[in-house]
Amino acid sequence: MSEVVMNPVPQREINEKGEEKKDSNIAPVYEVKKEKKKPKVSTKIQFSRKDYHIEEKYDETINVKQYNHLGQLVDTPTPTGRKLTREILSDDFYSKYVKGKRGNSKADHHAKCIFRTSEFFNVKVDHIIKAYSILAGKKIDGFWATDLIDRFGFSNGVQMSRDQLRKAYNKPNVQSVEVAQSKIYDILNKTDINKAYVDLIEDIKSEFSRDIREKSIYGE
């Protein structure tokens, strides 16, 4: 049976000044820096379902086999007598953000797109509307900033997948969309949109300068 030999614990040595001697053979201990957590979104702009939804009661139905007027046996929705509750977008939401009334298929679809955009970016609709006007004409990683928001159908109800947006900009892969999307997410989660965009551009310039400097020293 092989014997396991443990490394001896190094003894502490004290010099004449009463200070601990440092052993050059002992590897230095480096402190691991913890990643800073992202700051929480301000409650003034943070998304909340209850801001846009109301509860609606409706009749519960079950499908019952019945003969129709053609003599065919079909499933027919039949009320059970029970009332159920569901969440729907409020009338205020429609009147404030949607062109069209509830029950219109285009209006209903656009309302869902606006809500889902707000939910995805975790900020209120009003904040996105404000940001949309500020970011109009500005680019992030080659994408128009507003196109990154409109991918969810925010302004007109026309949605685009990541791959569709990639192809529209002739980008090599969907990762380019995901990276740009994360950047605009960070911008939208700030109360000061202008400053957040300027800070992003400054970071990109600094990173570009650092890459050029490193390549000039170390090569490609």
Note the pLDDT of residue 41: 72
Report whether pLDDT(97) > 90. yes
Note the pLDDT of residue 29: 46
Report whether pLDDT(9) > 60. no
Mean pLDDT, rounded, for 179-193: 95
Confidence at 19, pLDDT banded by 50, 70, 90: low
Confidence at 44, pLDDT banded by 50, 70, 90: confident
User: 143-153: per-residue pLDDT in tens?
Assistant: 999 999 999 99
HEC per residue, the chain: CCCCCCCCCCCCCECCCCCECCCCCCCCCCCCCCCCCCCCCCCCCECCHHHCEEEEEEEEEEEEEEECCCCCEEEEEEEEEEEEEEEEECHHHHHHHCCCCCCCHHHHHHHHHHHHHHHHHCECHHHHHHHHHHHCCCEECCEEHHHHHHCECCCCCCECCHHHHHHHCCCCCCHHHHHHHHHHHHHHCCCCHHHHHHHHHHHHHHHHHHHHHHHHHHCC
Note the pLDDT of residue 94: 96
Confidence at 204, pLDDT banded by 50, 70, 90: confident
Q: What Cα–Cα distance (Å) separates residue 208 from each residue in 1, 138, 175, 186, 197? A: 59, 19, 19, 20, 17
Note the pLDDT of residue 148: 97
Determine which of 12-21, 133-142, 165-174 has the lowest per-residue pLDDT on average.
Answer: 12-21
Mean pLDDT, rounded, for 203-217: 67
Note the pLDDT of residue 106: 95
Note the pLDDT of residue 1: 53
Determine which of 62-66, 111-115, 119-123, 157-161 has the lowest per-residue pLDDT on average.
Answer: 62-66
Give the rounded percent of residues in the chain with a pLDDT score beyond 90. 64
Note the pLDDT of residue 31: 47
Determine which of 28-42, 92-106, 175-189, 195-209 has the lowest per-residue pLDDT on average.
Answer: 28-42
Confidence at 25, pLDDT banded by 50, 70, 90: low
Mean pLDDT, rounded, for 61-81: 91
Q: Which residues contact 179 (CB under 8 A, 6 or more apart)?
A: 141
